[in-house]
Amino acid sequence: MRRKRKNLKKEEEEEKEDKDIKKVKKNDKVKNSNNKNSEENEKEIDEYWITDGKNRCGFSYDNRDTKRKFSELMIEYHDKRWCKPIHEDNELYAMLVLETMQAGLSWITILEKEQNYRNSFDKLNPVKVATFNSKKIEKLMNNPGIIRNRRKINSIINNAKAFLKVQKEFGTFDKYIWKFTDRKIIDHKLSSTSEIPAKSELSEEISKDLKKRGFQFVGPISIYSYLQGIGVINDHTKDCDFR
C-alpha cells in the first residue's frame, strides 16, 4: 500500500509538470510611481511563464501594467479570439461595447470585467440595451463590476440604438462593417507587434462614418482595435502559431 501511494504521488507530480502553463512566484523590485520620493519598494508579485512551446504575439504576455509576465485572460483572448472573424450581429455589438469601454484603460482591465458587462447589460443584446431607461442607468452606476462612468454607460445605450438603425438600413451590422473591405480580411503579416499601428486609413474611414451615424466613443484608434477584435484586420505576427 505504501508503495502504491508513492507511485500515485509521483504520477501527480508528473502531471503537474506536464501542464502547458504554470505559475511561479518570485520577488521582484517594482518601482512605485506614486511614491513621491521615487523609492523602490520590494514586493512579491506573481509572474506567469508560458511553457507550451507556442509562438505568440508579444503583447499577449508582456503586460507590465498588471505587474505580471502575462495574464492568463490575455493569453486566452490572444489564442482564441483576437483577429478571429466575427459575423454574428450580437457579438459584433458586444465587441464594440468592450472596445469603446477601453478608452483610457488597459485591455486586460476590460477582459477582467467582460462577464460583468455581459451580465449587467442583458448579454449585450442591442435590442434589449436600447430600451434601458434612467432608472436602469442609475442601477448600473452602482454596479462595482463595471466601469462606473456615466458617459460610457450612456454611450452603450446610445450605440445600441445606432446599431439597430444600421441593421435596419443594411439588413445586418455584419453586412455594413465588412463592406468596407469587400468582406476580405486585411492581413498585415507583421514581423513584430511593434509594427502594429494605432490607427489606419480604414479605421479613420469607418470612425468617420460611425460618428455620422450617431455612434459615440468610436475614434479611429478604438475602431482599429475593434477591427482587430472582430477579425477584419489580422495583426498576428508571421511567426505566431495562432494567426
As a whole number of angstroms, the distance between CA 175 and CA 238 comes to: 28
Per-residue cell: 17: 509538470
Beta bridge partners, 15, equal none
Catalytic site residue 99?
A: yes
- Cα 232 to its chain centre, rounded Å, is 15
Catalytic site residue 93?
A: no
The reply to whether the predicted model has a pTM over 0.85 is: no
As a whole number of angstroms, the distance between CA 200 and CA 17 comes to: 44
H/E element, 22: strand 21-31
For the chain, the domains span 2-77, 89-234
List the catalytic residue out of 48, 82, 93, 107.
Answer: 107
- Cα 154 to its chain centre, rounded Å, is 21
- Whole-number pLDDT of residue 74: 87
| Mean pLDDT calculated for residue range 47-68 | 60
| Selection from 21, 75, 17 nearest residue 51 by Cα | 21
Residues in the chain: 243
pLDDT tens sequence across 3-52: 444 444 444 444 444 444 333 333 333 333 344 333 333 333 334 455 67
Q: Is 236 annotated as a binding residue?
A: yes
- Using DSSP, state whether 56 is helix, strand or coil: coil
CB 111 within 8 A of CB 80: no
Q: Is 240 annotated as a binding residue?
A: yes
C-beta neighbour count of 149 within 10 angstroms: 14
Catalytic site residue 107?
A: yes
List the catalytic residue out of 93, 99, 178, 224.
Answer: 99
CB 97 within 8 A of CB 217: no
Measured distance between the N- and C-terminal CA atoms of the chain, rounded to whole angstroms: 50
- The more confidently predicted of residues 101 and 38 is 101
Annotate 142-170 with three-state secondary structure. CCCCCCCCHHHHHHHHHHHHHHHHHHHHH
- Whole-number pLDDT of residue 70: 56
Cα distances from 95 to residues 84, 89, 109, 133, 222, in angstroms, run: 12, 10, 14, 22, 11
Q: Is 188 annotated as a binding residue?
A: no
H/E element, 46: strand 40-50
C-beta neighbour count of 121 within 10 angstroms: 24
List the catalytic residue out of 77, 82, 117, 176.
Answer: 77
- Whole-number pLDDT of residue 93: 99
Q: Of 52-56, 129-133, 141-145, where does mean pLDDT reach its minimum?
A: 52-56
With respect to CATH, is domain 89-234 assigned 3.40.30.10? no
Per-residue cell: 152: 460610457
